[in-house]
Structure 1
Amino acid sequence: MNADLTEVRRAIDAIDAEVVQRLAARERLVRRAAALKTDEQAVRAPARVEEVIAKVRGLAVTAGGSPEVVERVYRAMISAFIDLELAEHRGHDRA
C-alpha cells in the first residue's frame, strides 16, 4: 500500500474518532430534548430540520466542503436521531 494512502487513512481514522465523540455528545442532548417535548410532532419538527439543514449547508461552504454532501449526511443523521428521540419520547409516555 502506498505510504501516502496509509497516512491519509490514519488521518481519516482520527477524524472518525472525533466525529463519533461529537455524535455521542449530540445524542445526549437529543435524549434531553426528548424529555422536554410534548408530542411526536414536536419531536419531528420539520421546520427545525430545514433550519438546521440551511445552517449546515452554509457552514459547509464556509469550511470549503460540499453543501450537498453535508446536507445528505445531516439528513441521514437527523433521521436517525429523530427515531431515537421518538423512542425516548414514547418511553417517557409509559413512565
Structure 2
Amino acid sequence: MPSHQKPDPAKVHAEQLKAVRIAINEVDEQMVGLIARRERLVRRAGSLKEDDESVRAPARVEQVISNVRGFAEKLDVDPTVVERTYRAMIDAFIEFELKVRRQP
C-alpha cells in the first residue's frame, strides 16, 4: 500500500477484534484451569462435610460473595459481574458436590 493511503478502518477494527478474541481465549483457558483446581478442592471439602445442608451452606456462600466483591473492588472490576459469575459458579459446584456425595 502506498504511504499516502490510510488503512481501511474496517480492516483495522477486524484485526483488533481478532486480537482481543485471541486474548479472551487465553484468559478462558487460564480460568478453566483455575476452575479445575477449584473442583478438586470442592471434592475434598465435600468429603469432609456431614450432610447436604453443609454442602449448600448459605452463610458460606454469602461470605464467598462478600470476599469476591471486595477483590473486584480492589482490582477496579465491576463487582456485580463478579458476583453474578460467582453465584452461577457456586450453584453449579453445589449441584456437582451433591451429585458426588450421592455416588457410591
TM-score normalised by L of structure 2: 0.85
Q: Larger Rg: 1 or 2?
A: 2
Matched, 1:68 2:87: no
**Displaced runs of 4 or more, over 6 A:** none
**Residue in 1 aligned with 2:62?**
50
Question: Which residue matches 1:13?
Answer: 25
Could you say which structure has the higher helix fraction?
A: 1
- Among candidates 64, 79, 86, match of residue 91 of structure 2: 79
CA RMSD in angstroms comes to 0.9
The answer to whether the 8 Å contact 1:60/1:70 transfers is yes
Aligned match of 1:32 in 22, 44, 49?
Answer: 44
Q: How far apart are residue 54 of structure 1 and its match?
A: 0.3
Q: Which has the higher contact order (CA 8 A, sep 6+)?
A: 1
> TM-score, normalized by length of structure 1?
0.93
Residue in structure 1 matched with residue 6 of structure 2 by the alignment: none
Unaligned runs of 5+ in 2: 1-10
User: Equivalents in 1 of 2:99, 2:42: separation in Å?
Assistant: 11
**Contact residue 37 and residue 89 of structure 1 kept, 8 A:** no
Instruction: Identify the residue that residue 8 of structure 2 maps to in structure 1.
Output: none
Q: Which moved more, 1:1-10 or 1:17-26?
A: 1-10
